[in-house]
């Protein structure tokens, strides 16, 4: 469908856009969303919620870099990565609502839950810092998530397997984009090297949480670790960076984001994410 101008495009009746209140169609429309025999629907829903929250929250953090990246090309690239993750979040949150029988929508999961009901890893919610912090978070997150989704391509749930198969293609680009910047900054000037190393050092306490298996997970969280380590070591060697030697165990013990325990900044992120939906519940336009 073509339009004479942008205004006509965004005001077209029933046109679904990426914003609350636009009446999205079910992203799983046309798929058989019945829970496979022998699979616990509540457990499947809980796991999809974890993966969906990871994507939703990290997508929001990436969107904060629009107009703040060093080059226009990178602003577009980061925005596209954020949209990819938002698409993954839509599918996974919709799957959670189908699997647990509640028929809750992606909107209700995203906008109508309290802070302690979110199950994302804490690395996804980290914000602020300089460009080196962003690249470190994006590289670690996408390397981990890609290795995890490769495991999920053979999931016993066909819907989750299909979501993972689509996500692998997207995450491969995310990881490669971040790796290029990791090497460029790490093997660049003394200043860019120090900032890239600083970014890695500061996120490292949250890495252990990525590989800590939660009772509701469908895949042993430790399985992606060898692939993650191999890619990380190769990239760090090319970037002349050093793997942080301490702090990772902080994410291995105690309660984490998977249990609904988040960082101090998460409440502010959620307030911004949910502000329109909370102010105008059930709004449609």
Alpha carbons 139 and 182: distance in angstroms, whole number: 8
What pLDDT was estimated at residue 36? 92
Name the band, by pLDDT with cuts 50, 70 and 90, for residue 249.
low
Name the band, by pLDDT with cuts 50, 70 and 90, for residue 213.
confident
What pLDDT was estimated at residue 15? 45
Residue 216 has pLDDT above 60, yes or no: yes
What pLDDT was estimated at residue 278? 87
Residue 219 has pLDDT above 70, yes or no: yes
Residue 281 has pLDDT above 50, yes or no: yes
What pLDDT was estimated at residue 17? 44
Q: Is 47 helix (H, G, I), strand (E, B) or coil?
A: helix
Alpha carbons 2 and 225: distance in angstroms, whole number: 47
Residue 107 has pLDDT above 60, yes or no: yes
What pLDDT was estimated at residue 250? 53
Sorted by where each starts, the structural domains of the chain and their CATH numbers stand as 39-279 (1.20.1260.10)
Residue 10 has pLDDT above 90, yes or no: no
Question: Whose structure tokens read 């430790």?
Answer: 222
Report the largest interatomic distance among the alpha carbons of the chain, rounded to a whole angstrom.
57
Which of 142, 140, 149 has the alpha carbon at shortest distance from 91? 149
For the segment 26-71, what is each residue's pLDDT rounded down to a tens digit? 888 888 889 999 999 999 999 999 999 999 999 999 999 988 888 8
What pLDDT was estimated at residue 69? 84
More confident residue, 110 or 2: 110
For the segment 123-152, what is each residue's pLDDT rounded down to a tens digit? 999 988 999 999 999 999 999 999 999 999
Residue length of the chain: 285
What pLDDT was estimated at residue 268? 94
Calculate mean pLDDT across residues 262-273.
Answer: 94
DSSP code of residue 35: P
Name the band, by pLDDT with cuts 50, 70 and 90, for residue 218.
confident
DSSP labels, 195-243: HHHHHHHHHGGGTGGGG---TT-SS-TTTTHHHHHHHHHHHHHHTT---
Calculate mean pLDDT across residues 181-199.
Answer: 97
Q: Are 124 and 54 in contact (CB under 8 A)?
A: yes
Q: Are 157 and 39 in contact (CB under 8 A)?
A: yes
Question: Whose structure tokens read 């660049």?
Answer: 188
Most confident of 137-141, 220-224, 280-284: 137-141
pTM over 0.95: no
Average pLDDT of the chain to the nearest whole number: 88
């Amino acid at each position: 469908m073509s339009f004479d101008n942008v205004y006509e495009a965004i005001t077209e009746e029933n046109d679904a856009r990426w914003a609350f209140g636009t009446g999205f169609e079910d992203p799983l429309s046309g798929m058989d969303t019945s829970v496979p025999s022998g699979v616990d629907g509540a457990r499947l829903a809980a796991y999809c919620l974890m993966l969906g929250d990871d994507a939703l929250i990290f997508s929001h953090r990436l969107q904060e870099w629009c107009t703040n990246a060093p080059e226009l090309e990178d602003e577009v690239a980061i925005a596209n990565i954020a949209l990819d993750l938002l698409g993954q979040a839509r599918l996974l949150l919709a799957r959670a609502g189908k699997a647990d029988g509640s028929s809750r929508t992606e909107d209700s999961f995203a906008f109508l839950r309290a802070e302690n009901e979110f199950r994302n890893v804490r690395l996804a919610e980290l914000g602020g810092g300089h460009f080196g912090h962003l690249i470190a978070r994006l590289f670690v997150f996408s390397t981990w998530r890609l290795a995890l989704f490769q495991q999920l391509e053979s999931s016993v749930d066909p819907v989750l397997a299909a979501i993972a198969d689509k996500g692998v293609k997207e995450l491969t680009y995310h990881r490669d984009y971040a790796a290029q910047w990791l090497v460029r900054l790490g093997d660049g000037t003394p200043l860019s090297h120090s900032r890239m190393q600083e970014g890695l050092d500061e996120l490292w306490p949250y890495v252990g949480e990525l590989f800590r298996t939660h009772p509701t997970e469908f895949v042993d969280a430790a399985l992606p670790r060898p692939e993650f380590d191999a890619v990380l070591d190769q990239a760090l060697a090319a970037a002349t960076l050093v793997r942080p030697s301490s702090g990772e165990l902080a994410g291995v013990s105690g309660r984490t984001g998977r249990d609904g325990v988040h960082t101090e900044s998460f409440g502010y992120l959620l307030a911004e994410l949910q502000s329109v939906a909370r102010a105008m519940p059930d709004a449609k336009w």
